[in-house]
Structure 1
């Protein structure tokens, strides 16, 4: 079977068209060498294939490629697809952005000798499936990227899947909703002198994506209904008091202004996002 190349990412990765309106990332040694859009390649030349299942995923992939190396994007996307199919785990599509960015940031820290395991409490007893997914994903990351992240990274990956659990509704967040959420967050951040900059922009954008999908899940009544261990919330409050305070104010204002109700799980997820954001912000100002 011959596949038509639509884009060449590097010597080992290309975007191909498979049938009508279907696309996939094909990777294999030398598969893109001296190839151009419109050329064809044999399907037997591929070592791996990653299907881009819908328009949102295609858009996420194209956006991420502007800043993230192709091998990291492909690894993250394949890991998410593995979780979907092997563990029958449904996730919102924004995890393609958040998990990819997380892996990229951790990879850069590891390569620069600045990697430090996070202080996220242990969650394997409360979330055995997500922890198992995190363990399998970490194995894929270490193998595909030829790195060695410690097992402490499993719980961080697991949290991404806990956070993104759900089924995407057909409609996307509206412009009015996006504007309201952005305005609320900006007001709270201004009070704490938190600004988007070159250092923290990835964490800032990740938080904004989380906010948009969070409100959408509230509207479609698809929030995570599992109850986090109470000790986790207490640990976060003790470890990250500033993030706890900021997330509380954002959640309170979202509930008041948008007339929604957020459960404790969502508040904990905010703490994680905000802690990473303000930590990068403080490192920049240091």
Structure 2
């Protein structure tokens, strides 16, 4: 069977059309060498195939490729698909962005020697399935990227799957609720002088995607009611006091104006997003 190439990412990865508006990433040694869009390749030449299941995942993939190397994107997407199919674990699609971004950031820290072990406490007894998934994901990341993240990284990956658990709705979120959420966040940012710029645009956009899916979880009553270990918030409060303060005000406003209750998972992820956005330095002595 011959597949039509839609895009060539590098010598070893291409995007192909499968018909019926379906697409996939085909990987294999030299599979994209001297190839152009419109050329064909044999399906039997592929070492692996990653199906892009819907339009939203295709969009996430294309967006991430602007900033993240193809091998990291493919590895993260394969890891998520493994969790869905092997562990029958349902996740909201935004995890394709958040997990990919996390792996990319950790990879950069590991390569430049600035990687630090996670401060997140061990939660495997409370979340055994998510922890098992995270262990399998870490193995896949280490093998595919030819790196060696320490086992403590499993805890960070576990949080991503806990936070993203759920089923995406057929239709998108209502514009009115999206507008209200964005207004709350942007008003708080204005108070602290936070604006989207060239330096922080990637992190700003990641936060906006997180907010989009938060709206969907609110509308579908899909907020996880299992609280994480309180040590997590305490550690972030100590390390990133300004990020903690900003995220707290956003969460309080969201709860008051939307009449919802955000769990510790959501609050922790707001701290992470805002810390990346403002690049607050850790303050271990605080």
Q: TM-score w.r.t. structure 1 length?
A: 0.90
SS at match of 2:19: coil
1:108-155 alpha-carbon deviations (Å, 9 max, x no partner)? 222222222332222222212111111111111111111121222111
* Aligned equivalent of 1:91: 91
Summarize the alignment of residues 74-89 of structure 1 with structure 2, pairs less than 5 Å apart.
74-89=74-89
Equivalent pair of 1:75/1:140 in contact (CA under 8 Å): yes
User: Offset at 1:182?
Assistant: 2.2
User: Offset at 1:235?
Assistant: 4.2
User: Offset at 1:205?
Assistant: 2.3
Equivalent pair of 2:240/2:281 in contact (CA under 8 Å): no
- In 1, Cα distance between equivalents of 2:156 and 2:217: 22
Aligned residues: 282
Equivalent pair of 2:243/2:280 in contact (CA under 8 Å): no
- The answer to whether the aligner puts 1:64 opposite 2:64 as a matched pair is yes
SS at match of 1:44: helix
- In 1, Cα distance between equivalents of 2:65 and 2:86: 26
- The answer to whether the aligner puts 1:157 opposite 2:157 as a matched pair is yes
1:48-86 alpha-carbon deviations (Å, 9 max, x no partner)? 100011111111111111111111110010000001111
SS at match of 1:18: strand
- The answer to whether the aligner puts 1:6 opposite 2:30 as a matched pair is no
* Aligned equivalent of 2:44: 44
* Aligned equivalent of 1:130: 130
- In 2, Cα distance between equivalents of 1:231 and 1:114: 24
Cα pair distance change 1:17/1:111, threshold 3 Å: same
* Aligned equivalent of 1:268: 268
User: Offset at 1:218?
Assistant: 1.0
- In 2, Cα distance between equivalents of 1:208 and 1:16: 29
- The answer to whether the aligner puts 1:277 opposite 2:277 as a matched pair is yes
Q: TM-score w.r.t. structure 2 length?
A: 0.90
- In 1, Cα distance between equivalents of 2:166 and 2:215: 13
Summarize the alignment of residues 208-247 of structure 1 with structure 2, pairs less than 5 Å apart.
208-247=208-247
* Aligned equivalent of 1:172: 172
User: Offset at 1:200?
Assistant: 3.5
- In 2, Cα distance between equivalents of 1:12 and 1:262: 43
Unpaired runs of 5+ in structure 2?
A: none
- In 2, Cα distance between equivalents of 1:174 and 1:219: 9
Equivalent pair of 2:240/2:280 in contact (CA under 8 Å): no
User: Offset at 1:234?
Assistant: 4.0
* Aligned equivalent of 1:21: 21
